Amino acid sequence: MRKILVIILLCTGAWFLMSCQEQSEAESSSTAETTAAVTVTEEQTVTTAAATTEKTAETSAPTTTETYQIAENMYMFIDLQSVRASKCTAKMTNHNAVQKPYTYAYRILNAETGEECRILSNYDPEEDDRDASEIHWINPEEKRTLQYDWEDRYGELEDGTYILELILDRTTVYPEDGGEGTVVPVVVRAKFEVESSDFVPHIYIAPEDVQPTGVVLTIENSPDAGRSYAFAYRLYDESAKPRKELLKVFDKETRLTMNNYVKAGETLMLELNWRDLYGNLLEGKYSIEMEMLADGEKEGKTYHADFEIK
């Protein structure tokens, strides 16, 4: 009887262990399936988010890089004889069959980089805003002459190639694949070169033309215009710190001989003598400053030449 009870207990224990093992395996399988399902769900979520972000980026990215639009049938060129380091004259023609608007707003661009020239730090853009807001009109086949002076905005430009860009109007440009439009200026452009040798006289004193009592001043006039010497010059001591004005001379001899005009592209030599007014100069560095008036201008410009007494 005792043996039978032992056998029964052993069978019951074995059955209980088998049930626990099956339940444990079932729970492990269920947990594994649940974890796998969660992992798949997370991967799907990440993929969807990435796709959404990529799609949004594609939609938001502009499909056009236009920052301006060239006007049709509008023509502008620069009067090359008018070009100076700080100004020029442009002429514009409307070849459209209808009247067209334009403003006085403009920019000077570097032709190599396409970027606007550096604006002076003390420049007040209020005038630019007013020029951009005022609308003017040009009739079909009408020609307009426009004067530009940018000395206050850019100063004097260095020698090089530039683009004058005149803003005529503004228009809205829409991307090819749809979306919001961008307002861009409608412009007309003309290229020009600043080459100072074309409009700035070369004034110098050769070493062999230097004496303690006077010098010979050589004026190689530029080809743009004739110029008149204003009969007066100033003598400076450049060795002094700061430099010192020694004489301001009214050139009576040049006035009597009327030897004060130099034609475009020609050379004038002026003999300047201060022996009776000042005497001999000592060794040192000196300079001559004088004014010349170009044909058609109302104000003269100052020119400078250095020399040395050894």
Residue-level pLDDT at 2: 46
C-alpha–C-alpha distance, residues 267 and 222, integer Å: 9
Residue-level pLDDT at 66: 55
C-alpha–C-alpha distance, residues 86 and 4, integer Å: 123
Q: Which residues pair with 137 in a beta bridge?
A: 101
Residue-level pLDDT at 253: 87
pLDDT digits (tens), the chain, 310 positions:
444 444 444 444 545 444 444 444 444 444 433 333 333 333 333 333 333 333 333 333 333 345 889 999 999 999 988 999 999 999 999 999 999 999 999 999 999 999 999 999 899 888 888 899 999 999 999 999 999 999 999 999 999 999 999 999 999 988 888 788 889 999 999 999 999 988 899 999 999 999 999 999 999 999 989 999 999 999 999 999 899 999 999 999 899 989 999 999 999 999 999 999 999 999 999 999 999 999 988 889 999 999 999 9
C-alpha–C-alpha distance, residues 225 and 203, integer Å: 15
Cβ neighbours of residue 109 under 8 Å, at least 6 residues apart?
115, 116, 117, 162, 163, 165
C-alpha–C-alpha distance, residues 196 and 210, integer Å: 27
The gap between the terminal CA atoms of the chain, to the nearest Å, is: 145
Residue-level pLDDT at 181: 87
Residue among 296, 265, 263, 300 at smallest CA distance from 89:
296
DSSP structure string for 154-187: H-SPPSEEEEEEEEEEEEEE--TT----EEEEEE
Residue-level pLDDT at 35: 36
Q: What is the largest CA-CA distance in the chain?
A: 161
